[in-house]
Amino acid sequence: MRDRSSRPVVKKIKPGISVAAAAPQRATPYLRPLLQFAAAHVPAQKHKETPLYILCTAGMRLLPERQQAAILEDLVRNVPLEFDFLFSKSHAEVISGKQEGVYAWIGINFVLGRFDHEDEEDAVVAVALGNQGESLVRKRTVGILDMGGASLQIAYEVPDSGAFSSPQQEEAAKSLLAEFNLGCDVQHAGHVYRVYVNTFLGFGGNFARQRYEELVLNQTHVYNRLHSQQTGLSPEMPFLDPCLPVGLEDTVARGGQTLYVRGRGDWPACAELLQPLLDGSNSSQASLLGAYKAPIDFDNSEFYGFSEFFYCTEDVLRLGGQYSAPTFTSAAQEYCSQRWEVLTQRFRGGLYSSHADQHRLKYQCFKSAWMYQVLHQGFRFPLDYPSLRTAQLVYDREVQWTLGAILYKTRFLPLRDLRPESIRQAHTSWLRLSFVYNHYLFFACILVVVLAIVLYLLRLRRIHRRQLRAAQLSLPWLDKVVVPPGQGNGP
């Protein structure tokens, strides 16, 4: 929907419904502004047939199940008392990270028109359907990469079911592969998709920095103990951090320890130092290197990178859009090698994106190296991969998982709602066309009648002339007219 100014009808509130954890009765009042906004834009007579879904994500997943259930129960009980939307207990749930990834994947591919199989397009893929060896050629979908502050996510279609090297790998694949049908009914096998989705907690940009600082602290402690030095324990002898711009001074505090650091802006050394973090630092973090990943056909695939992938390439380096590893590497190295004073001067001069701030300037060197390692070492993207775009908007639209969620949840509704409408439209169209055709027929009939009358009159005129000519030929002796007496003009 769009308003009268052609702006999307969207409303967002923060920080999230999990704030009602300690007081579940606050859940409905928290959502009330959103529901009132929706009620104001959906026609009142349509409320009873408009489905409402309340889907909760990461914030709710972190709560104990008891608190999750209490919040959902409050919503199911109280929302119908205030709003007439089509809402039931099954419409309120806490979704998994896998579901969230699938919904995000559906959203981006819907906006890009990749589910429309009628239009011909060069970029196609052969998809294996079922276990009978059947295959279908259809539009190639795009994969997504999304890096937030805390987590990293990847989702992409797996056209070939393939074989597994071990039972353990097959078991891991079952938990990471989602197969679903986006057709209007279950018989539409052409709209069956098999998508690999994985979320890596602790691999987001900010959490990765925290893990890196812990790694540096431990390494510095070991180094000092082995070499009897005091590196990083005072401002006069700081730890020279390759992941910070040259000359930037900072402190890191962990567990009662304070580490003094000074940037030295060595991007290649930074990237090398980050490589161990791809394995994860504890049992709660899956290894990015060791995790099962469905095969990617890098010769026939396409990916979009969102969130940190876009910020890291665009906000400072101004390289958002088509990704090129050599260009990105060169720009990142040049940025890291600059002195902190020069970078802050450029920032004040407005040379960077309006979204860039001091935090971005400070950690751009680190985050660019981390993004590079995640992409090329963690996910094994080739350095010459040509089909990755980093983006924030697609066709000037902010694509979020919520779009994919509503598409998935309502994928069967057209059977119920749109068929009667299409019949009515077809009937109305037929009546309209019949009226037009009757108009033409009426004028055609009038034209035929007029032509018939004209032809009939012309025929009568020809007959009359023929009769006069015949009469003149049959009376040749008649050469004058006799006027009876009393009817002339004279005696």
Catalytic residues, by residue number, are: 100
For residue 282 the two structure tokens come to 């504890």
Q: Contact 151/197 with Cβ under 8 angstroms?
A: no
Give the DSSP per-residue string, 398-437: ---HHHHHHHHHTTTHHHHHHHHHHHHHHHHHHHHHHHHH
* Nearest Cα to Cα of residue 192 among 170, 169, 161: 161
Is 209 exposed, middle or buried, given 0-12, 13-18 or 19+ CB atoms closer than 10 A? buried
Give the CA-trace dihedral at 28, 30, 33, 34, to 10 degrees: -80
- Do the Cβ atoms of 390 and 309 come closer than 8 Å? yes
According to DSSP, residue 37 is labeled: H
Q: Give the DSSP H/E element, type plus range, for residue 98.
A: helix 97-111
Q: Please state, in angstroms and rounded to a whole number, the distance separating the CA atoms of residues 268 and 460.
A: 106
Strand order in the sheet with 239-241: 239-241, 257-263, 249-254
* Tokens 């920095």, located at residue: 209
Q: How far apart are the C-alpha atoms of 193 and 182, rounded to whole Å?
A: 8
Which parts are annotated binding residues for ATP?
Answer: 149-153
Going by C-alpha positions, the residue among 382, 417, 431 that lies closest to residue 48 is 417
124 close to 416: Cβ distance less than 8 angstroms: no
Binding annotation: 149-153
Residues 6 or more apart whose Cβ sits within 8 Å of residue 68: 56, 60, 94
For the chain, helix, strand, coil in percent to 5 are 50, 15, 35
